[in-house]
Amino acid sequence: MARKYIDNPNACSLVHTMNIIGNKWKPIILYLLSNGSMRFGMLNALIPTISKKVLTNQLKELENDGLLLRQSFAEIPPRVEYSLTEKAVGLLPVLKLLSDWANEAYPEMDFEQCRIIENG
Amino acid sequence: MARKYIDNPNACSLVHTMNIIGNKWKPIILYLLSNGSMRFGMLNALIPTISKKVLTNQLKELENDGLLLRQSFAEIPPRVEYSLTEKAVGLLPVLKLLSDWANEAYPEMDFEQCRIIENG
DNA sequence: AATAGTGGTAACCAAAAAGTAACTAATGGC
DNA sequence: GCCATTAGTTACTTTTTGGTTACCACTATT
């Protein structure tokens, strides 16, 4: 009845991944940075509904988890560029699959209409 | 400077996926059900740190999002079996990739040691 | 008559996450 | 001397999420 063995390690690494990227903003941030580095203000402009406080926080966490590189230039006004690390790049194809899955699984949803990111 | 076009639809479907599965418990639930259906009490026993209230809640949301099938049998004491829908089955390989990614990206973490799920 | 077993629900509380608004440092341009 | 600019920070409030305990319905067993 109770199974003899449950694959804890796989569950744990999955949970770990979700702890790192499984929230409201982080996948979007990674997604936006997939084409190259971007400044803080640009990220903030492209995700109009995020507050500066939360964006700062998410970027810090992603940096701590080794997904982002933060480059601060000694200029006035300040300039800070964020870019993906190799770790994060390895995640991109999986994020693409997650997005493909939603398109297939929820064809009734019109993702064309939605606005998370401002078009330039 | 500002890019001309940003692929909103892809970002939106990714966000949608995260809204559905991107939290503390749902990936574990899907993972546990990947080998077949399971009763409420069994899920509760295998995820020892989840409360009944929250488990009920997560199962309901997964059912509403079309990932779980809930079968209630008219017996005393009650029996309720949860199983994955086709939609959810389509997600399993992607969850596996997410878990593989964590193993690769964080080799210093010892996922063998962790205990989310009770071994039988 | 009391208890165990199952899958919940209700009321209540604590903690975490997110939002808001004002503020800062340092410089260039007017 | 004043304002704009950028990447934040701080203090405060609100919202969301999660946790705890007690309880219920219904039957079989003791």
Put simply, whether A118 touches B (Cβ < 8 Å) is yes
By C1' distance from the Cα of B61, the closest nucleotide is D17
Per-residue model confidence as pLDDT tens digits over A78-118: 999 999 999 999 999 999 999 999 999 999 998 988 888 88
| Residue keyed to tokens 């084409």 | A35
* A64 is near strand D: CB distance < 7 Å: no
Backbone phi, then psi, for A84, in 5-degree steps?
-80, 145
The closest alpha carbon to B20, from B91, B96, B97, belongs to B91
And the tokens for A89? 């790049």
* B45 is near strand D: CB distance < 7 Å: no
Query: Does the pLDDT of residue B120 top 60, yes or no?
Result: no
- For strand C, the positions having any atom within 7 A of a protein Cβ are 5-11, 17-22, 25-28
Give the one of B16, B115, B119 whose C-beta lies nearest to A5's C-beta. B119
pLDDT the model gives residue B2: 44
**DSSP 8-state secondary structure symbol assigned to residue A72:** E
And the tokens for A53? 């406080």
Q: Taking CB atoms and an 8 Å limit, are B16 and A102 in contact across chains?
A: yes
- For strand D, the positions having any atom within 7 A of a protein Cβ are 4-11, 17-22, 25-28
pLDDT the model gives residue A1: 42
Question: Average pLDDT of B13-41?
Answer: 95
Percent of chain B's residues with pLDDT above 70 = 95
Question: Average pLDDT of A57-64?
Answer: 98
> Which pLDDT band, with edges at 50, 70 and 90, does B115 fall under?
confident
Query: Does the pLDDT of residue A2 top 50, yes or no?
Result: no
Do A1 and B108 touch, CB atoms closer than 8 A? no
Q: Taking CB atoms and an 8 Å limit, are B42 and A97 in contact across chains?
A: no
> Which pLDDT band, with edges at 50, 70 and 90, does B40 fall under?
very high
Residue-range domains of chain A with CATH: 17-104 (1.10.10.10)
Question: Average pLDDT of B27-36?
Answer: 96
Residue A57: which residues within 8 A CB-CB, separation 6 or more?
none
Per-residue model confidence as pLDDT tens digits over B47-74: 999 999 999 999 999 999 999 999 999 9
Backbone phi, then psi, for B56, in 5-degree steps?
-50, -45
User: What mean pLDDT value characterizes chain B?
Assistant: 92
**Contacts for A89-96: CB closer than 8 Å, 24+ residues apart:** A89/A34, A90/B101, A90/B104, A90/B105, A91/A21, A91/A30, A91/A67, A91/B101, A91/B105, A92/A30, A92/A34, A94/B94, A94/B97, A94/B98, A94/B101, A95/A21, A95/A27, A95/A30, A95/A31, A95/B14, A96/B10
Chain B residues whose beta carbon lies within 8 Å of the beta carbon of residue A27: 14-15, 18, 22
Chain A residues whose beta carbon lies within 8 Å of the beta carbon of residue B36: none
Per-residue model confidence as pLDDT tens digits over A6-55: 788 889 999 999 999 998 899 999 999 999 999 999 999 999 999 999 99
- Report ipTM for this prediction: 0.91
